[in-house]
Amino acid sequence: MSAPAPGRWVFVCGPSGAGKDSVIGWARTALAGERGIVFARRAVTRAAHPASDHEELSPAAFAQWLRAGRFAWHWRAHGFDYAVDAYYREDVARGRTVVVNGSREHVLGLPAGSVEVVLVTAPPEQLAQRLQARGREGGDAVRQRIARNGDLPDMPGAHVIVNASTVAEAGAQLRDHLLATSHRSG
**pTM score, whole prediction:** 0.83
Candidate CATH numbers 3.40.50.620, 3.50.50.60, 3.40.30.10, 3.40.50.300; the one for domain 8-39+95-185? 3.40.50.300
Domain ranges within the chain, ordered by starting residue: 8-39+95-185
The residues that bridge with 176 in the sheet, in sequence order, are: none
17, 122 in Cβ contact below 8 A? yes
- Name the residue with higher pLDDT: 100 or 186: 100
State mean pLDDT over 103-124: 80
Predicted local distance difference test score (pLDDT) of residue 185: 41
- Name the residue with higher pLDDT: 48 or 24: 24
- Name the residue with higher pLDDT: 79 or 166: 166
